[in-house]
Structure 1
Amino acid sequence: MRTTLPLPPRINLREVGPRDGLQIERPIPTARKLELLELLVRSGLKRIEATAFVSPRAVPAMADAREVAAALHQWPDVQWSALVASEGGARRALEAGVRNLEYVVSAADGHSLANVKRTTAEALAGVGRIADLVHDAGGTCEVIVATAWDCPFDGPTPADRVLHIAREAVLQGADALCLGDTIGTATPLRVVQLLGAVRDISLHLPVGLHMHNTRGAGLAGILAAMQIGVVDIDASVGGLGGCPFAPGASGNVPTEELVYLCEDMGVATGCDLNTLVGAAGLAQEAVGRALPSGVLKAGGRPGSPAQSRPGAN
């Protein structure tokens, strides 16, 4: 009888709490954001999405993107990135010193129009220009495909739309792809089917996964993806997150829950769970409400290498 799972030796974890996690919250002081970033760095995270260069009117919580970016030089060992939704946002990010950018293309027109006021085709047409800008600055351009499985306006997203975006993004110069379960509806079989199809046409570019935990299936989808060799995984401290332009979307998979799961199964993350729980507690205090993370509430398994103390509630 088989008693093991096919798992990678480690994952390449990206923390998205400072951007995706905080974008739907009331704005918090920049100094508090930097305290959170410092704790996340201390936890061992090497990839962190720090902010977004988007309209401050549409997303007030990201209005201090330039100020946040100006502080990142003090942690040179971290691969910092920022999300952009337009060529103008990409230019502002590069001017602020951020060299690794994530450009969002929604696979569903309904969400794309709500999110960036452009159709999917119009947003996709911008990949090449943004990739050229980033490459000229010595950086990388990742294309995140939002609503890859379902859209709150259009319903199920046809896989062919996602595959078309992936092909075009590769042809236009994207350095990596990431599939986003924006409203948290994907379950494991759907996750691996779409990831597998995208990886088949991605010309060996990295293909990552960004799950929301709206219906409690986020970790299950990530585990299934890991079993087919996907190692580029997003998560958000404390389970913060959600899309302000996707009704019903809620938080991401909590980073400390993912780290607990992986480390307990022997999959390395490079992170210290105790420090992550402390960061989740700080995030909870900063936003002023209880966060959904089970590990923040309960801590790690007693006596295990990943053991942690429960966070404050």
Structure 2
Amino acid sequence: MIPVQYCTELSFSPGLTELAVIAGTEPPAIGIHEVPSTQLVRSLPLPGIDRVHTWSRGVVHLGAAVVHLEQLTWQSPRTWRIVRHRAPDWQREVLAEFDEEHSVGLRAVPGGFVVVRAAEFLFGGADGPLRDPAGVPEFANREVTLLDAHAGTGRIAVVSKPKPWAPGRWLTVLRPDLTVLAEQELEFEDHYGWFCGPDLLVTFGEWQSMTCLRIADGELRDVGGTHLLKQNRSYGVHSMPLGLTTLPLRNLIAVEQEYGLPTLWLDAVTGKDTEPPPYRDRFPVWASPNGQYLVFVADHSRLELATDPAFAPGDVEPDRV
């Protein structure tokens, strides 16, 4: 069990030997827990941060380092920092500090991480400086928001809009070299997105709309979707992007609902209701990249790590550890 007040971000190390957890502790800190025992092995403090806000945080465990984002001010433009803690002493290292009115995102990519701010893509690893590759021509006059990155393939999903403000929104999937793999103009503005495997993308946005898209032949093809019931959505225990979890191993989407309502299980391809896996009433807030491990909500103050039975022969209740 992992004691937390509320969970905001999780990241497994590449070898699945550790789990980094940003939790609402006082004082705020990143807890590094051993997998599968969940024993706390180290705590990385977040000095100067008096509250942890889900939407302004990100964490990536690189094995030999842990990287996270900090938002220092509420005023516009906001001040952001990219911070790295490196083994063996895990000392705090500020890689960059900048002012940005737009949201900033952090995700794992093969061998490192990417930070997206406005139309700038910053890449880094467990050591060395940040790298700022050439810009993306398609984003020359757009403001870009990072949705997700696929840690296995390095594909990056973003939403962009013109600047200054003008009609039009686009969902774009980029290759690791930042060339465009596929792009689609959006009917609704999507605020969140998750890869469910390298070729399937799930987005969530305006009017509680959820869309399932297949990446094929250089195109984004709508293959399904639904509108979630706002009155049933849970906003208390977990804030977005938690509260909606893709499970690539099972091709499922788990949607957390208000207390007393069961987890809503959707097919990741069609977006339609489907039979729940054998997790009983537990909600998985995170899955390891290969789907082996799931992190469940045990109650309002603890998280539980388990092995998904779909990863091994048999379809039994996940082992509690």
Normalising by the smaller structure, the TM-score range is 0.3 to 0.5
TM-score in terms of structure 2 length? 0.33
TM-score in terms of structure 1 length? 0.34
The structure with more strand, counted as a fraction of residues = 2
